[in-house]
Chain A
Amino acid sequence: MLLRAINLKGGYEIRSGFVKAVDGCSLTLSEGEILGIIGESGCGKTTLGKLLMGFTMPPLKLLSGKVLISDIDLYSYDLENRRRFWGSLISMVPQYSMNALNPTIKIKDFIYDFLKQHKRDITREEALEIASVRLKSLNLSPSVLDMYPFELSGGMKQRVVIMISSLLNPKILICDEPTSALDVSTQRVLLELLYNMVKLEKIVSSMIIISHDVAAISQICDTLYVMYAGKIVEKGPLDEVLEEPLHPYTKALISCVLTPEERIRRSRITGLKGAPPNLLNPPAHCRFAARCPLAFSKCKQAEPPLMRIGNREVACWLFNGDER
């Protein structure tokens, strides 16, 4: 087991209270695994990613829980000391980070500055050597090193940013919405790159991809986690989850995926009405109950725990788990 997160709870301190964006999430990631986290915007996916990194910059705060990476207990270090793990042990590519490249400096200078922060005594030549080797292994042209960010297309920028975040060979790479705002062909190339990094080149051991685009990430993930209103409501091997989603929310999410296939044209798909609950004061019962087409009395009384069903776990009162 490469990463284990145990019962993470955390969120944002704001004037009117505490937004529990992540409320009791556990996660395991093994060597060589690509794990996808899906859910609507505002369900806490990004916050979970930050908590896994130990990136608790105010107003984000961890309330309880543990993150173990290999044998390192991340939160036994304070924020200042956690920094040294970022980039080398665990790395994150935030959403829209491709637009965060400084437009006035060339990619190679950016890479040199980046590497220098972690390895004081690195020379310029060494830095460029590392970068061009990495570019080659990822089928990218080393000529991008001499370019300014504005000379690169959106997809290319995104690939360069991901390449840079892997330069220090982190064990785990977390990508937040890596494919959003990209055209399908660019998106495909990017997914190939991510797949390569884990499965073929083994540049990173494991990867967590956070996305709202089920179809896109389902192409490369092994495991799928479904998040709703700060909680993980279903998790399991990708194929099983897609084939037979258990949780009504997962069902709705998957039925809403529009792909150019005959079935979607003939039918009229019903979307989900309403909005997720306010995480300042989430309901004490099942958080999906208000929008759930299958909700019954028990759903509005108590919160369902994650129950194991075969290879999978689901938090829904429609099921009686194997255990517990």
Chain B
Amino acid sequence: MSILLRVEKLTKIFTAGGIFGSKMRVVAVNGISFECREGEILGIIGESGSGKTTTMKTILKLYKPTRGKIYFRGRDIWTIPNKEYYRHVQGVFQDPYSSINPVYRVRHLFDNIFDNLLEDVSLDERHEILSEVLDRVQLKAEEVLYKYSYELSGGQLQRVLLAACLLVDPELIIADEPTSMIDASMRVTILNVMRSLREEEGKSIIFITHDIGQAFYICDRLLVMRKGKIVEEGSAEEVVFHPQHPYTKRLIADVPKLGKKLILRR
């Protein structure tokens, strides 16, 4: 399998404060390297503050890296024009309420995609295509397209955002906790959609989550991040069944298993 995305010694430092005041430095991502291969689902696991969201936004060209390079199919992503890059790489952000502009109906998001990334689709075809992608995430076009974001539930919005990705049909989707607000019964259906994207269409997905159960269900490989660094990397089975790093060990041990009574640590 060829390499789709390569991240090389990526560091992202946020600074705040002016020239005169003392500067606040936060090292969000600290010299990480990894790659995502074609046709694989790569899971990035970490707790809040581990730098996984910063990593995602840097890959999506929303943050400029402080140090390090990111290559998509061997090309430095900053040499690829935005429009071209976003046709191949798309993302779903963590907070669905803030991801959709509150002043427009949901349809506006899809129209933005048509207008800027899919210019060759005629106006008449749009509705039919939208119905198709929404159907894949178990939504009905007439139930969501003409609503405002605050009229929909978090779970519905997350599915809308995933549908937007499906519409663009990129080679790589980076999804940050894309199912956090979806009910467990529906969540499996959505994870199955992602699985079939890989199995049937050979797409790659970077799945960012703190839920090891979900990651284990769909991911081929897992990266475990902590405080801006990758502490463990390997196939999903390796990482879950034979964790090496103490942090990973604790993380896996803390995952609730159905019906296993809590053993008190004292």
Give A residues with C-beta under 8 Å from B. 40-42, 154, 183-188, 191-192, 195-196, 212-216, 218-220, 238-239, 242-243, 252-254, 256-261, 264-265, 268-274
Q: Can you identify 9 A-B contacts, CB atoms within 8 angstroms?
A: A185-B47, A212-B183, A258-B211, A259-B255, A260-B252, A264-B216, A265-B217, A269-B217, A273-B138
Residues of A within 8 A of B48 (CB): 154, 183
Q: Which residues of B contact A270 (CB under 8 A)?
A: 188-189, 192
Residue of A nearest to B261 (CB): A219
Interface pairs A-B: 4 shortest CB-CB: A271-B188, A258-B213, A272-B185, A271-B189
CB distance from B209 to the nearest CB of A (A): 11
CA distance A138 to B254 in the complex (A): 19
Contact residue among A183, A185, A257, A272 (Cβ-Cβ distance under 8 Å from B213): A257
Q: Are A259 and B258 in contact (CB under 8 A)?
A: yes
B82 at the A interface (CB under 8 A): no
The 8 Å CB contact of B155, one of A41, A243, A254, is A41
Indicate if the CB atoms of B185 and A258 lie closer than 8 Å. no
Q: Contact mask B222-266 → A, CB, 8 Å, 1/0?
A: 000000000000001100100000000011101111111110110
Q: Which residue of B lies closest to A218 (CB)?
A: B259
The residue of chain A having its C-beta at the shortest distance from the C-beta of B264 within the complex is A192
In residues 141-167 of chain B, which contact A (Cβ within 8 Å)? 153, 155
Contact across chains for A271 and B258 when beta carbons are under 8 A apart: no
Q: Which residue of chain B has its CB nearest to the CB of A40?
A: B183
Closest Cβ of chain A: how far from B254's Cβ, in Å? Answer: 4
- Residues of chain B within 8 A (CB-CB) of A242 are 258-259
A183–B256 Cα distance when bound, in Å, is: 11
Report whether A256 and B258 are in contact in the complex, using a CB–CB cutoff of 8 Å: no
Are the C-beta atoms of B258 and A253 separated by less than 8 Å? no
Contact between chains at A260 and B216 (CB < 8 Å): yes
Known contacts A258-B216, A270-B188, A273-B189: A184-B210 contact under CB 8 Å? yes
B184 interface residue (CB < 8 Å to A): yes
Residue of chain B at shortest CB distance from A185 = B254
Interface residues of B in 184-200 (CB under 8 A from A): 184-192, 195
B184 touching A214, Cβ below 8 Å: yes
Q: Is the CB of A264 within 8 A of B213?
A: yes
> B5 at the A/B interface (Cβ < 8 Å)?
no
Residue in B186, B189, B240, B258 whose beta carbon sits within 8 Å of that of A215 in the complex: B258
- Contacting B192 at CB < 8 Å: which of A183, A271, A274? A271
Return A239 CB to nearest CB of chain B, in Å: 7
Interfacial chain B residues near A216, Cβ < 8 Å? 256
Q: State whether B47 touches A188 (Cβ < 8 A).
A: no
Whether A258 and B210, one on each chain, are in contact in the complex, defined by CB atoms closer than 8 angstroms, is no
Contact B186 A272 (CB under 8 A): yes
**How far, in angstroms, from A253 to B254 measured CA to CA in the complex?**
21
CB–CB B256/A271 < 8 A: no
Query: Are the C-beta atoms of B257 and A259 separated by less than 8 Å?
Result: yes
Chain A residues positioned under 8 Å from B134 (CB to CB) = none
Which residues of B from 81 to 126 have beta carbons under 8 Å from A? none
Contact B256 A195 (CB under 8 A): no
Interface check B214, CB cutoff 8 A? yes
Contacts of A219 in B (CB 8 A): 256, 260-262
Closest B-chain residue to A242, C-beta based? Answer: B259
CB distance from B19 to the nearest CB of A (A): 27
A205, B195: Cα distance in complex, Å? 45
Task: Considering the complex, give the chain B residue whose CB is closest to the CB of A181.
Answer: B180
Q: Which residue of A lies closest to B259 (CB)?
A: A242
B42: interface (CB < 8 Å): no
Q: In the complex the two chains form, is B186's CB within 8 Å of A271's CB?
A: yes
Chain A nearest CB from B232 CB (Å) reads: 14
Q: What B residues does A42 contact at CB under 8 A? A: 153
Query: Smallest CB-CB separation from B250: which chain A residue?
Result: A185
Which residues does chain A contribute within 8 Å of B257, judged by CB atoms? 215, 259, 261
Q: What separation, in Å, do the CA atoms of A256 and B179 have in the docked complex? A: 13
Which residue on B lies nearest to A217, using beta carbons? B256
Question: How many whole Å from A211's CB to the nearest CB in chain B?
Answer: 11
| In the complex, chain B residues whose CB is within 8 Å of the CB of A271 | 185-190, 192
* Contacts A238-B259, A265-B236; A258 near B188 (Cβ below 8 A): yes
**Cβ-defined contact, A257 with B187, below 8 A:** no
CA distance A212 to B264 in the complex (A): 23
Check: B28 CB closer than 8 A to any chain A CB.
no
Q: How far, in whole Å, are A191 and B236 apart by their CA atoms in the complex? A: 27
- Tell me the minimal C-beta distance from A293 to chain B in angstroms: 12
A268 and B198 alpha carbons, distance in the complex (Å): 14
Closest residue on chain B to residue A216 by CB atoms? B256
Whether B255 and A260, one on each chain, are in contact in the complex, defined by CB atoms closer than 8 angstroms, is: yes
- CB neighbours of B236 from chain A (8 A): 265
CA distance A273 to B189 in the complex (A): 8
- A185:B251 contact, CB within 8 angstroms: yes
Given known A258-B213, A260-B213, A264-B217, contact A183–B47 (CB-CB < 8 A)? yes
- In the complex, the answer to whether B188 meets A256 with C-beta atoms within 8 Å is yes
Which residues of the other chain, A, contact B10 by a CB distance below 8 angstroms? none
Q: Kindly report which residue of chain A lies nearest to residue B156, judged by CB atoms.
A: A275
With A258-B216, A259-B257, A260-B212 known as contacts, the answer to whether A192 contacts B185 (CB < 8 A) is no
In the complex the two chains form, what is the Cα distance from A172 to B253 in whole Å?
30
CB proximity of A154 to chain B, nearest CB, Å: 7
